[in-house]
C-alpha cells in the first residue's frame, strides 16, 4: 500500500491484531481510568495495579481504531514491571515524539538507531505524526494511563 506503510507498520498491525495485556483488573486494589476521544467516539479503559513503586500489572480495553489499539497495547507492554518514574519518563518521551513537527520526522528517523533514548518498538508509531488527526488516537491510552499514575492535586 504506497504511502501508508509509515502509518500501518507491521509491528503496529501485529499489536492491533494481537493486542497484549487485554482485559480488566479488579478495582480495588487496581485503579481504573477511562479516556474518550470526543472527535471520533473512541474509548479506552486502563487498569493499573501497583506494588509499591512498581507497575505489577496493567490491562487495557480499547474500542477504537488500529492506531489507538496498537498504541495502548504497546504502551502496556513497555511499562509493565517498570517503576512509576520510569513509566512517567516514557510517557514524556512518547508525547514528545507525538508532538514533533512533521518536517522534523524524516531527520529524526535518521538518528533513530543511535538514539540512546530510543523508544524501541514504540518508534514505529512515529509515522502517526504525519497524519495529524490520528495523533489523538495514538495518545489516547497514554493520556489515560498518565491520569492514573500522576497524583491528582
b/e sequence 118-132, b meaning 16+ C-beta within 10 Å:
ebeebbbbbbbbeee
- Specify burial of residue 95 (Cβ count, 10 A radius: 0-12, 13-18, 19+): middle
Query: Nearest distance from residue 32's CB to other proteins, in Å?
Result: 19
- Minimum CB distance to other proteins smaller for 36 or for 150: 36
Q: How far is the CB of 68 from other proteins (least distance, A)?
A: 8
2 touches other proteins by CB under 8 A:
yes
Closest C-alpha to 140, from 54, 50, 45:
45
DSSP 49-100: EEETTEEEEEEEEEES-HHHHHHHHHHHHHHTT-BHHHHHHHHHHHHHHHHS
Any contact of residue 127 with other proteins (CB under 8 A)? Answer: no
* Number of residues forming the site for other proteins (CB under 8 A): 22
Strand order in the sheet with 54-63: 31-37, 42-51, 54-63
Question: Minimum distance between the CB of residue 34 and other proteins, rounded to whole angstroms?
Answer: 13
Query: Least distance in Å: CB of 19 to other proteins?
Result: 13
**Site mask, other proteins, residues 5-44, x = CB under 8 A?**
--xx----x--xx---------------------xxxxx-
- What is the spatial distance between Cα 58 and Cα 4, in angstroms, rounded to a whole number? 30
Q: Which one, 13 or 100, has the nearer CB to other proteins?
A: 13
Which one of 2-10, 22-30, 102-110, 139-147 is the stretch in contact with other proteins (CB under 8 A)? 2-10
- Residues that bind other proteins in the complex, under the rule CB under 8 A: 1-4, 7-8, 13, 16-17, 39-43, 63-67, 131, 134, 137
Amino acid at each position: 500500500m504506497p504511502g501508508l506503510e509509515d502509518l500501518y507498520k507491521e509491528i503496529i498491525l501485529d499489536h492491533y491484531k494481537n493486542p497484549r495485556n487485554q482485559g480488566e483488573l479488579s478495582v480495588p486494589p487496581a485503579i481504573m481510568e477511562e479516556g474518550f476521544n470526543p472527535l471520533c467516539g473512541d474509548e479506552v479503559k486502563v487498569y493499573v495495579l501497583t506494588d509499591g513503586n512498581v507497575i505489577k500489572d496493567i490491562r487495557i480495553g480499547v474500542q477504537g481504531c488500529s492506531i489507538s489499539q496498537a498504541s495502548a497495547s504497546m504502551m502496556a507492554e513497555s511499562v509493565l514491571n517498570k517503576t512509576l518514574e520510569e513509566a512517567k519518563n516514557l510517557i514524556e518521551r512518547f508525547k514528545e515524539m507525538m508532538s514533533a513537527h512533521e518536517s522534523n520526522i524524516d531527520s529524526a528517523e535518521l538518528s533513530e538507531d543511535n538514539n540512546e533514548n530510543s523508544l524501541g518498538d514504540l518508534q514505529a508509531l512515529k509515522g502517526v505524526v504525519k497524519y495529524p488527526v490520528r495523533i489523538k488516537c495514538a495518545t489516547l491510552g497514554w493520556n489515560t494511563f498518565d491520569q492514573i499514575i500522576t497524583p491528582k492535586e
